[in-house]
Amino acid sequence: MEGKPMMSETANPHLVHTDRFTAEAERVATLLDGLGTDDWTRPVPTCPGWTVRKVARHIGTAHRWAAAIVRSPGSEAVNPRSLDLGFPESNAGYSDWIRAGAAELAHAVREAGPDKPVWSWGPDQHARFWARRMLHETTMHGADMIMALGRTPEFDPAVAADGIDEFLTVLPSAAAFSPKIRALTGDGETLHLHATDADPASAAGERAEWLITLEPNGFRWRRAHAKGAAAVRGPVGELYLFLWRRRSPGAQEIEVLGDHVLVDHWVTNATF
């Protein structure tokens, strides 16, 4: 899939994330428009116990919850159970319900601007957190539904690369509700993620390669072309799926080199 250039920090990341979120939400809505009657109850293997309908409900709920947080005058959490979610009465209403929730969130984050203080569970306590978080929540759950339908998801490479950055950025904060993350420690072991479809001539900051280092008190990461004790190679969209545990280390779409025990340790504990 042909994508846009890698996200540049010279652009306004908040607006870029918001625009891309809107585009990904529309892709989900369009997918739902085309579902057959039996598709709604298909199980989603990457979200055990969920059906396609439940994933759609989760996406639309998340958008409305995030919008309520961004609109909140204080920096307090919002209980999603307190919201009037207006679930559709039939499957036919879900696509427009997704569009309406996405429009609500996009309006909220644009109106708030990137620097409005808001509650978040991540390291960034500003409205910009929710534009980026919901971009990747929507993209990955859209991929879940596509795979449940027996299709192969495609990603804008810029979205996938930013999604890897975002996952690694928020992962330590997610330990508050996913304690296994605290096991991601070590004595300097390194895991290299290498996107095989990236431009090797691109600047280091935009090169789609990541080096993760396990240390006694957690892990650190950076974009870098470097050799690790283990490496996972594949198209950037496949690395995105791998980090979100939608691709196993043994999947044919990626290649694992070096210390397989280290890769398994990462996969087992890097989850929320």
pLDDT of residue 230: 98
φ, ψ (nearest 5 deg) of residue 66: -65, -40
Domain count, the chain: 2
pLDDT of residue 75: 87
Name the amino acid, one letter, at 265.
H
131 touches 7 (CB < 8 A): no
pLDDT of residue 91: 98
| 109 and 178 belong to one structural domain | no
Query: Where in the sequence is the domain holding 220, given as residue range(s)?
Result: 162-269
- CATH number of 95's domain: 1.20.120.450
**Domain-ending residue, one of 154, 173, 208:** 154
| 201 and 231 belong to one structural domain | yes
| 61 and 147 belong to one structural domain | yes
pTM: 0.93
Q: What angle do helix axes 52-71 and 94-112 make, rounded to 10 degrees?
A: 20
pLDDT of residue 199: 57
Residue 3 lies in a domain: no
pLDDT of residue 9: 42
Rounded Cα distance between 188 and 57, Å, is: 41
- Strand, coil or helix: what is 20? helix
Q: How much is the CA Rg of the chain, to the nearest whole Å?
A: 19
Residue 37 lies in a domain: yes
pLDDT of residue 3: 36
pLDDT of residue 207: 72
pLDDT of residue 7: 46
| 51 and 143 belong to one structural domain | yes
Q: Which residue has the tokens 């280290």?
A: 262
| 141 and 182 belong to one structural domain | no
Return the structure tokens found at 120: 């978040």
Return the structure tokens found at 51: 């059906």
pLDDT in tens, the chain (272 residues): 333 334 444 469 999 999 999 999 999 999 999 999 999 999 999 999 999 999 999 999 999 999 999 999 988 899 999 999 999 999 999 999 999 999 999 999 999 999 999 999 999 999 999 999 999 999 999 999 999 999 999 999 999 999 999 999 999 999 999 999 999 999 999 999 999 996 555 555 467 999 999 999 999 999 999 999 999 999 999 999 999 999 999 999 999 999 999 999 999 999 99
pLDDT of residue 61: 98
pLDDT of residue 66: 98
The total number of residues shown for the chain amounts to 272
| 201 and 127 belong to one structural domain | no
| 147 and 17 belong to one structural domain | yes
What Å distances lie between residue 244 and 15, 35, 66, 91, 110, CA to CA?
A: 24, 25, 21, 27, 28
